[in-house]
Amino acid sequence: MIDNEYKCPPFDVNFPECHPPKKGEKDKKDEKNIVINNKNSIDCPLNADCPLLDKQVNPAIRRCPPTELIKNGGFEQEGVFQTFAFWDVTTTNFTVRSFEKPYEGFVCAEFISSQTTAPVTKTATLSQRVSVTPGCFLVLSFAENFRRTAEGGFDGLNIRASVFYEEAGRVNLITVEIGYSAEGDQSGKGYVFHQKASDIPVPSNVSSVTVEFFVQVRDTGSGGNTTQWLLDGVSLRAI
């Protein structure tokens, strides 16, 4: 039956390749094919030498491992001198704090505008600087929730999420623009998940980038109800 399966003349020692390998013995031709397939799988040119083949195939030590670059992306860890550990916060007529209506985990970051007697433009910035590997593309993802509109006057809420580096000015690798207008009630719809990849890889001379969320609203706010926006599940990974 074995000879028939291999379609070889029975007991023909002149055709050893036609006979199945012994138990526990690998077929040399298959072993060669495995090496070639692995080489192609990491996008090596057919004639190129890839001495780091084993390291490249291992996701844990390849050049652009998809590990998390953001620290405290779920805002679970409180800061000592800032609201959240690893995040920098700057505000104008805004409060940024922990809030128990998360997208995941136990808490999220709450952006809530201050009460003013007249419509005023209010801003808040949440940012974190992270180390990156040159040559890698980046993917930013996060969840946001426009939870409440201010009473007494609301002219719109705008959010810009960006990943950038500084080189004779600001150079954006990723930008996500989100806008909520005063037309209709766009608040209270729950969390919306966003994800975007960079169009170009990290330049060779760049070793760190800044992840920033800029929030701007123009409102009044009365009776204790002002504009409320939530952020959670922030992630930045290399690909």
Is-contact 212 129, C-beta < 8 A? no
pLDDT, tens digit, for every residue of 85-128? 999 999 999 999 999 999 999 999 999 999 888 889 999 999 99
pTM over 0.95: no
Secondary structure (DSSP) of 185-231: ---SS--EEEEEE-SSPPPTT--EEEEEEEEEEEE--BTTB--EEEE
Which domains can be identified in the chain, with CATH numbers?
2-57 (no CATH), 88-238 (2.60.120.260)
Q: 32-87 pLDDT, tens per residue?
A: 332 323 333 333 343 344 343 333 344 445 579 889 999 999 999 999 989 999 99
